């Protein structure tokens, strides 16, 4: 079969493998989540993540091939996330890809993790083309990317401290709501008043596209301690926290799209699941005459189909990694 790529993703706490044909047809997309193992710690524990990847990756790859009804010998290449991410976790994926490639005489294609998130959009919306501005908000990263073309990607700004998902998780942990905190706060916020408490909107008018979210988390902690947990309506705290965090994301995303003169906005990362964010950004985009693309959740969160899709243009160009290439925890944004 033409252009079959096996994608592998292990940058954080999802062990994932997928087979994608021609850069856009998903034949399989298998994700083994480790969330149960990290739950009691209220966040991802890097050492546990690496160990679970080692235990699971072969099964996940096998499952991806079986579901796609293809064999290693049918593949044109193996694509793998080379960073950014947890270094021990990344190594498991990279070594697996390299071992498969060595055994089956296949090229290895390296993919930058944030770039792969952008490519999830092409899997979901084939009509989407460059240029666009993407808001990428997950547990590990939060930033705005200007994608002028496949090869011209500019990181307009990013969080200077906590990622958006991380802020959700930390506030939920402090309020003893459970893990991961994003979906829990999202649900509770629906029953709360977003204007009950006026939490800070840090860097809203900073004149750049960076974010700072750890001060908001501290403001929530201080407020709850000062007022006394028993006297508070937790849904109000959740709704007000969420509103403050999302306002900065929405305003800066639309501002970036206007400044860059693009007509399309793309939403990616686990926080893209947030109901209020989807609704708010859709409304803001409509008002600004912009088109919003938010792919289905399974393509927004970490997966390997997006890795295989992002690798496809490199297949034709023969842009392959040397056999012993090492992943990098801080791999910069570049195609």
Residue numbers at the binding site for ligand KG4 (CB under 6 A): 12, 138-140, 165-166, 168-169, 180-183, 186, 269-271, 273-274, 301-302
Q: Which does 194 bind (CB under 5 to 8 A by kind): ligand KG4, Zn ion, none?
A: none
Burial 63-89 (b: 16+ CB within 10 A, else e): ebbeebebeeeebbbbbbbbbbbbbbb
Rounded distance, CA 243 to CA 211, Å? 15
Which positions lie near Zn ion, rule CB under 5 A? 138, 302
CA angle 304, 248, 112 (to 5 degrees): 25
Query: How far apart are CB 55 and ligand KG4 at their closest, in Å?
Result: 19
Strand order of the sheet with strand 4-9?
25-33, 14-21, 4-9, 77-83, 108-112
Q: Which does 157 bind (CB under 5 to 8 A by kind): ligand KG4, Zn ion, none?
A: none
Query: How far apart are CB 119 and Zn ion at their closest, in Å?
Result: 12
Indicate the residue among 157 and 182 with the shorter CB distance to ligand KG4.
182
Query: How far apart are CB 220 and ligand KG4 at their closest, in Å?
Result: 15
How far apart, in Å, are the Cα atoms of 80 and each of 19, 52, 91, 92, 117?
12, 17, 10, 10, 13
Rounded distance, CA 169 to CA 184, Å? 9
Indicate the residue among 122 and 168 with the shorter CB distance to ligand KG4.
168
Query: How far apart are CB 138 and Zn ion at their closest, in Å?
Result: 5
Q: Which does 186 bind (CB under 5 to 8 A by kind): Zn ion, ligand KG4, none?
A: ligand KG4
Tokens for 318, please give them: 């023969």
| Other Cβ atoms within 10 Å of 240 Cβ, number | 22
Indicate the residue among 186 and 302 with the shorter CB distance to Zn ion.
302
Rounded distance, CA 101 to CA 106, Å? 4
Residue 307 Cα to chain centre, angstroms = 12
Indicate the residue among 186 and 236 with the shorter CB distance to ligand KG4.
186
Q: Which does 169 bind (CB under 5 to 8 A by kind): Zn ion, ligand KG4, none?
A: ligand KG4
Query: How far apart are CB 302 and ligand KG4 at their closest, in Å?
Result: 5
Q: Which does 265 bind (CB under 5 to 8 A by kind): Zn ion, ligand KG4, none?
A: none
How far apart, in Å, are the Cα atoms of 222 and each of 173, 178, 218, 227?
14, 20, 6, 9
Q: Which does 236 bind (CB under 5 to 8 A by kind): ligand KG4, Zn ion, none?
A: none
Indicate the residue among 264 and 303 with the shorter CB distance to Zn ion.
303
Query: How far apart are CB 268 and Zn ion at their closest, in Å?
Result: 8
Query: How far apart are CB 143 and ligand KG4 at their closest, in Å?
Result: 13
**Which residue spans within 241-281 are E strands per DSSP?**
264-268
Rounded distance, CA 13 to CA 16, Å? 9
Indicate the residue among 50 and 262 with the shorter CB distance to ligand KG4.
50
Q: Which does 168 bind (CB under 5 to 8 A by kind): Zn ion, ligand KG4, none?
A: ligand KG4
Query: How far apart are CB 169 and ligand KG4 at their closest, in Å?
Result: 5
Indicate the residue among 169 and 236 with the shorter CB distance to ligand KG4.
169
Indicate the residue among 75 and 273 with the shorter CB distance to Zn ion.
273
**Which residue spans within the chain are E strands per DSSP?**
4-9, 14-21, 25-33, 77-83, 108-112, 132-137, 142-147, 153-158, 264-268, 291-293
Query: How far apart are CB 40 and ligand KG4 at their closest, in Å?
Result: 16
Beta strands 4-9 and 25-33 are unpaired
Indicate the residue among 51 and 278 with the shorter CB distance to ligand KG4.
278
Q: Which does 9 bind (CB under 5 to 8 A by kind): ligand KG4, Zn ion, none?
A: none
Q: Which residue's entry shows tokens 């498969």?
A: 100
């Amino acid at each position: 079969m033409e252009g079959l790529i096996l994608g592998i993703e292990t940058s954080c706490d999802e062990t994932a493998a997928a087979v994608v044909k021609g850069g856009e047809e998903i034949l399989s997309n298998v994700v083994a989540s480790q969330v149960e193992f990290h739950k009691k710690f209220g966040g991802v524990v890097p050492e546990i993540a690496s160990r679970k990847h080692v235990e699971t990756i072969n099964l996940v790859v096998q499952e991806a091939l079986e579901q796609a009804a293809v064999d290693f010998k049918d593949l044109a290449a193996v694509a793998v996330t080379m960073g950014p991410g947890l270094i021990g976790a990344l190594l498991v994926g990279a070594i697996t890809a390299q071992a498969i490639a060595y055994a089956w005489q296949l090229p290895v294609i390296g993919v930058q993790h944030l770039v792969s998130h952008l490519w999830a959009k092409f899997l979901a919306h084939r009509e989407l083309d460059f240029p666009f501005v993407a808001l990428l908000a997950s547990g590990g990263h939060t930033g705005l990317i200007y994608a002028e073309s496949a090869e011209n990607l500019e990181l307009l700004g990013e969080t200077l401290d906590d990622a958006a998902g991380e802020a959700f998780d930390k506030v939920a942990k402090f309020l003893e709501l459970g893990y991961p905190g994003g979906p829990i706060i999202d649900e509770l916020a629906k029953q709360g008043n977003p204007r009950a408490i006026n939490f800070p909107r840090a860097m809203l008018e900073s004149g750049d596209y960076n974010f700072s979210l750890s001060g908001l988390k501290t403001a929530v902690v201080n407020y709850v301690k000062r007022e006394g947990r028993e006297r508070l309506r937790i849904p109000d705290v959740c709704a007000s926290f969420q509103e403050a965090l999302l306002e900065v994301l929405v305003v800066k995303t639309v501002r970036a799209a206007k400044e860059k003169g693009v007509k399309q906005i793309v939403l990616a990362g686990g926080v893209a699941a947030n109901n209020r964010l989807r609704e708010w950004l859709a409304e803001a985009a409509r008002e600004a005459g912009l088109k919003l693309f938010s792919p289905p959740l399974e393509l927004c969160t970490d997966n390997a189909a997006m890795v295989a899709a992002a690798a496809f243009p490199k297949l034709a160009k023969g842009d392959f990694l040397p056999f012993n290439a090492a992943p990098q925890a801080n791999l910069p944004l570049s195609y």
